[in-house]
């Protein structure tokens, strides 16, 4: 029997919390029986929500606090709010080994600061990296860093390659992890010195976790020839926002085109299955769940504006990082 996994949940973070959080937990609990949830938040509100759910009482522990970190709080002010906020208590439960991982849809900056304050870095890793999942033609990419580090050196990018591949292996154990550096061209001479030096080091040293496939340009990220995309946080965050904006633009324009005329409406009815598949492929809720890599325990950030489906998918990511031995894989390959 698989050992029980305990997930610490900040129930008060994000839009429409704690409703979407509890709904997401209920949905996740139906398909993952061996998961226990430490839920941190306002007992008066959450108890009422739980009373209407089919979540068994032996599947969760509700830890009461009325204090929470707001979305507009700075990382510094969030840290100063004290140790009784739902986010702090959830992170602390991982530190105290009461939980295996932490998930929150709350303030991103605050979560990462509190996580770094409470959880130790993995030995030999200098900087944590924020990673996320992006669709490609063959499945999903792991992309990092998405904003935790504006500047990176060669060692950081090599560490990101290892951490990203460990995450990819944990989530998709039957796939080969194929690493590429995001660059302005595919030729070896392209890019700045840091990128080129990283290329040379990765190209001359094999790692059992991944295959190195050189450079990938932004317009080829979705092709699926590689599945772990490595870059610094400045470039990665711009790429992320550009991809999100492009996806929103395409779906919005397609919806307008198919609903503005009679012919468009008829066409959409005739192709409803294909349109639904297209919509699902670009649904950000499916890829919800950013992961802060480099700390001794998994830290999962659900998008603040997502609904319960998105939060459920973040919980799935959380579960897979534990079952897939994410932290152990990183430690085994960092030297």
Q: Are 104 and 70 in contact (CB under 8 A)?
A: no
Mean pLDDT, to the nearest integer, of 244-269? Answer: 68
Stronger pLDDT, 90 or 140, i.e. the higher one: 90
Asked whether the predicted pLDDT for residue 227 surpasses 90, the reply is yes
The mean predicted confidence, pLDDT, of the chain is 88
Domains of the chain: residue spans and CATH: 1-125+294-335 (3.40.718.10), 129-287 (3.40.718.10)
In the block, residue with structure tokens 């997930």 = 7
Residue (of 13, 42, 8) closest to 106 by Cα position: 13
Ramachandran class of 178: left when φ > 0, alpha when ψ lies in -120 to 50, beta otherwise:
beta
Global pTM?
0.88
- Distance separating alpha carbons of residues 292 and 298, to the nearest angstrom: 7
* Measured distance CA(88)–CA(109) in Å, rounded: 13
The predicted pLDDT at position 193 comes to: 92
Residues forming beta bridges with residue 215, ordered by sequence position? 181
- pLDDT value of position 217: 92
Q: What is the pLDDT of residues 132-154, one digit of tens each?
A: 998 888 888 999 999 888 899 99
CA angle (91 as vertex; 86, 96 as ends), nearest 5: 120
pLDDT of residue 198: 94
The DSSP secondary structure of 27-60, one letter per residue, reads: HHHHH-TTEEEEEEE-HHHHHHHHTTS---GGGE
Interval 218-242 mean pLDDT:
90
On whether the CB atoms of residues 128 and 291 are closer than 8 A, the answer is no
Q: Please report, to the nearest 10 degrees, the dihedral formed by the alpha carbons of residues 124, 205, 232, 187 taken in order.
A: 170
Q: Which pLDDT score is estimated for 72?
A: 85
What CA–CA distance (Å, rounded) separates 177 from 208? 10
pLDDT in tens, 178-211: 999 999 988 877 888 999 999 999 999 888 899 9
């Amino acid at each position: 029997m698989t050992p029980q996994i305990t997930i610490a949940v900040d129930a008060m973070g994000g839009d429409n919390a704690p409703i979407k959080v509890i709904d997401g937990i209920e949905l996740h609990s139906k398909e993952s029986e061996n998961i226990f949830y430490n839920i941190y938040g306002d007992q008066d509100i959450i108890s009422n929500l739980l009373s209407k759910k089919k979540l068994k009482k032996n599947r969760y522990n509700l830890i009461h606090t009325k204090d929470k970190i707001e979305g507009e709080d700075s990382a510094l002010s969030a840290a100063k709010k004290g140790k009784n906020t739902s986010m702090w208590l959830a992170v602390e439960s991982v530190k105290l080994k009461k939980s295996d991982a932490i998930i929150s849809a709350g303030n991103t900056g605050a979560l990462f600061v509190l996580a770094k304050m409470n959880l130790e870095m993995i030995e030999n890793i200098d900087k944590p990296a924020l990673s996320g999942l992006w669709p490609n033609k063959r499945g999903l990419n792991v992309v990092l860093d998405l904003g935790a580090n504006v500047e990176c050196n060669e060692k950081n990018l090599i560490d990101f390659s290892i951490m990203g591949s460990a995450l990819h292996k944990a989530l998709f154990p039957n796939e080969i992890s194929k690493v590429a550096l995001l660059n302005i061209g595919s030729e070896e001479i392209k890019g700045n010195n840091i990128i080129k030096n990283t290329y040379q080091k990765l190209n001359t040293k094999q790692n059992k976790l991944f295959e190195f496939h050189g450079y990938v340009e932004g317009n080829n990220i979705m092709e699926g020839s590689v599945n772990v995309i490595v870059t610094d946080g400045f470039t990665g965050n711009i790429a992320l926002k550009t991809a999100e904006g492009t996806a929103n633009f395409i779906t919005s324009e397609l919806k307008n085109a198919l609903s503005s005329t009679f012919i468009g409406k008829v066409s959409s009815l005739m192709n409803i299955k294909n349109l639904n598949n297209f919509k699902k492929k670009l649904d950000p809720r499916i890829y919800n769940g950013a992961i802060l890599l480099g700390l001794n325990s998994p830290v999962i950030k659900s998008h603040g504006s997502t609904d319960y489906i998105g939060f459920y998918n973040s919980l799935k990511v959380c579960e897979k990082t534990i079952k897939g031995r994410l932290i152990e894989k990183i430690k085994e390959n960092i030297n």
